[in-house]
Amino acid sequence: NTELTQEWLQNYVDDWVRFYRKHTVDGELASYIPQLTKADPNALGVIIMGNNGMTIKSGDVDATFSIQSISKVFAFIVACMDRGVSYVLNRVDVEPTGHAFNSIIHLEMRKIEKPFNPLINAGAITVTSMLQGRTSDEKLEGIFQLLEKILGRRPELDVDVYESERESSIRNRGIGYFLLEAGVLESDLGITLETYFKQCSIKITVEDLAKLGLILANDGMDKTTGEEIIPRQIARLAKVLMLTCGMYDASGKFAAYVGVPAKSGVAGGIMASVPPRIREEVLPFMDGCGVGVYGPALDEQGNSVAGTRLLRHIASHWDFSIF
Ligand code: GLN
């Protein structure tokens, strides 16, 4: 009986959210972008959206927040769709760094002529420079169109976050100058950075993250309409990057303890993709699901502290790991 199952799963998730909300005190709001300190540090919410049509929502699911680094996945997808995968991968590598997302250490290593991966700031800014268009708004259009197709509405920019981000952008400008010197940028540095700050400021919800995660879980296919929204090869590559680099310098631990492709952002969002799994025993969401999490108190690596622990709990309880 589906209704009973739904209620039963809902009770579990409610309990877990209640428990892990207490863990938000172990983290801190990102303060290097001043506007992000306006969030409620104790917020925690999760939505699990299954291919079986079942959706579980728990906690602070009505909050809106900026997409931040999760946008890097979609900028990469759009760049690959516009320019071709090999074009993009000739300019940015697919190797994890083990360093912080905004690290400049590797940019100083002269032997390396391209950024390590599209999910650290250096690689993401390089990818953003490859987006089509002359102005930052033209460059953003491809990302907006892709998100609109998946979410069923055109998301908006959080102008306050965007301005805050631009005003506190010394590190990202520093990274930009390194990239300019290395000759990897395909567009004007100023326009590229404007585009990057705007893409990070797109306003989303936990439900949006679950929908986006679900499309990626299905290799780019919208299973309700049968439409291929992202070419399979590109969706798969995006998931490889999420698994190896998506949680910054905690990606190894996340793969070990959660075991699914995921991407976090410093506003506290996490998007996770759980592909369909074959199991002998019946488990919730074994047909695959997308998971959106929001919890703005962050750990040292810049990942939602309670959100990561909640995901770990759900993933181990329902055996989400792809391994
Ligand atoms: N806009 C943020 C930055 O560039 C994005 C980083 C993040 O979410 N990790 O610093």
ipTM here: 0.94
Summarize the confidence of residues 237-259 as an average pLDDT: 96
- 3 among annotated binding-site residues: no
At 112 the pLDDT is 66
Summarize the confidence of residues 107-125 as an average pLDDT: 84
Cα angle: 315, vertex 200, 32; to 5 degrees: 90
Which amino acid type is present at position 98? Answer: G
> Using CA atoms, how far apart are residues 105 and 280, in angstroms rounded to an integer?
46
Strand partners, 65: 204
- 69 among annotated binding-site residues: yes
At 113 the pLDDT is 75
- 294 among annotated binding-site residues: no
pLDDT tens string 214-246: 999 999 999 999 999 999 999 999 999 999 999
Which residue from 294, 259, 267, 280 is spatially nearest to 44, judged by alpha carbons? 294
Under 8 Å between Cβ of 46 and 274: no
Q: Which CATH homologous superfamily contains domain 68-200?
A: DD-peptidase/beta-lactamase superfamily (3.40.710.10)
From the CA of 41, how far away is ligand 1's center (Å)? 18
Tokens of 211: 């929908």
> Using CA atoms, how far apart are residues 45 and 59, in angstroms rounded to an integer?
4
Under 8 Å between Cβ of 295 and 310: yes
Helix, strand, coil shares of the chain, percent, nearest 5, are: 50, 10, 40
For the chain, give every domain's residue range: 2-67+204-317, 68-200
Which residue from 182, 173, 181, 82 is spatially nearest to 133, judged by alpha carbons? 82
Cβ of 302 closer than 6 Å to ligand 1, yes or no, is yes
pLDDT tens string 186-216: 999 999 999 999 999 999 999 999 999 999 9
Task: Answer yes or no: is pLDDT of 111 > 70.
Answer: no
CATH 3.40.710.10 fits 2-67+204-317, yes or no: yes
Hey, which residues are catalytic here? 69, 72, 196, 248, 266
Summarize the confidence of residues 145-157 as an average pLDDT: 97
Under 8 Å between Cβ of 56 and 64: no
DSSP-based three-state secondary structure for 81:
helix
From 101, 209, 251, give the residue whose CB has the most ligand 1 atoms within 8 Å, as the site to mutate. Answer: 101
Parallel, antiparallel or unpaired: strands 289-294 and 269-274: antiparallel
Question: Residue length, the chain?
Answer: 323
φ, ψ of residue 69 in degrees (nearest 5): -65, -15
Q: Is 68-200 in the same CATH topology as 2-67+204-317?
A: yes
